[in-house]
């Protein structure tokens, strides 16, 4: 009897621990950090690659001594792993976007890849304790080098790189709205200054007209 009752008492306890354990496991899964994004993973790999390059440099370099010139050396070092055909000046396909036959011109890193790489390394440098004012990836020499690579590859491959211009239609609309809404109200207010109620009524109607005109102008 006692053993049976004891067994019966233990079952509810074990049953009560099951849902709580499940909830704890679910909470632990929910609180686990999200996996890094593709950008963050690539940035970490690029940063480790650059640190390894500094370690293998002859003589070895420390991050504190790294300058824009060393960053340019690193970019040139990466050209040996490039997959973009860049025609030399004497090549018959120089400036040809779609060469009809293969040639012996070297493969290099595309300008877009180098530009994106520098952006990631510049962010990684500051995330790892570097100061923005001493960031070698933001050096003027690096920017000049990237511009030269962009222009050189554009000529060699016959593919111009054009920057997209941002359009600002809101600024023009705001200027038109200001010109329309201010002038009529001030004119009617000055004209109605001599009368009492009539001036107030005219000002009110003019304000309504300006508001309607403003809404119409903004919609157009």
Give the domain CATH number at 132: 1.10.150
* Residue 17 is assigned to a structural domain of this protein: no
Residue 5 domain-assigned (yes or no): no
**CA quadruple 21, 27, 33, 35: dihedral positive or negative?**
positive
Residues 88 and 152 in one domain: yes
pLDDT (0 to 100) of residue 55:
93
pTM for the full predicted model:
0.59
Q: Domain check: are 63 and 111 in the same one? A: yes
Classify residue 148: in a domain, yes or no. yes
Site of tokens 């222009």:
151
Backbone angles phi, psi at 107, to 5 degrees: -95, 135
Give phi and psi for 85, each to the nearest 5.
-75, 120
pLDDT, residue 48, reads 96
The whole-number pLDDT of residue 7 equals: 47
Domain range for 129: 38-157
Residue 16 falls within a domain, yes or no? no
Domain boundary among 110, 127, 157: 157
Each residue's pLDDT, cut to its tens digit, for the chain (220 residues) gives 444 444 444 454 444 455 555 555 555 555 667 888 999 999 999 999 999 999 999 988 999 999 999 999 999 999 999 999 999 999 999 998 889 999 999 999 999 999 999 999 999 999 999 999 999 999 999 999 999 999 999 999 988 776 655 555 554 444 433 444 444 433 433 444 444 444 444 444 444 444 444 444 444 3
Residue 18 lies in a domain: no
Residue 138 shares a structural domain with residue 181: no
């Amino acid at each position: 009897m006692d053993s049976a009752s004891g067994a019966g008492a233990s079952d509810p306890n074990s049953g009560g621990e099951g849902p709580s354990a499940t909830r704890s496991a679910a909470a632990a899964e929910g609180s686990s950090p999200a996996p890094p994004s593709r950008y963050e993973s690539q940035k970490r790999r690029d940063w480790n690659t650059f640190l390894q390059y500094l370690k293998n440099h002859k003589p070895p370099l420390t991050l504190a001594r790294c300058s824009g010139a060393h960053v340019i050396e690193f970019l040139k070092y990466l050209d040996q792993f490039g997959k973009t055909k860049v025609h030399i000046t004497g090549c018959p396909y120089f400036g040809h976007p779609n060469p009809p036959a293969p040639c012996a011109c070297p493969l290099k890193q595309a300008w877009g890849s180098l530009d994106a790489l520098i952006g990631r390394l510049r962010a990684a440098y500051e995330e790892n304790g570097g100061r923005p004012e001493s960031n070698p990836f933001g050096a003027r020499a690096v920017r000049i080098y990237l511009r030269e690579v962009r222009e050189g590859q554009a000529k060699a491959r016959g593919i111009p790189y054009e920057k997209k211009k941002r359009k600002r239609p809101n600024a023009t609309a705001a200027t038109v709205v200001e010109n329309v809404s201010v002038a009529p109200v001030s004119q009617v207010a000055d004209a109605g200054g001599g009368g009492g109620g009539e001036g107030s009524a005219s000002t009110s109607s003019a304000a309504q007209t300006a508001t309607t005109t403003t809404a119409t102008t903004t919609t157009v």
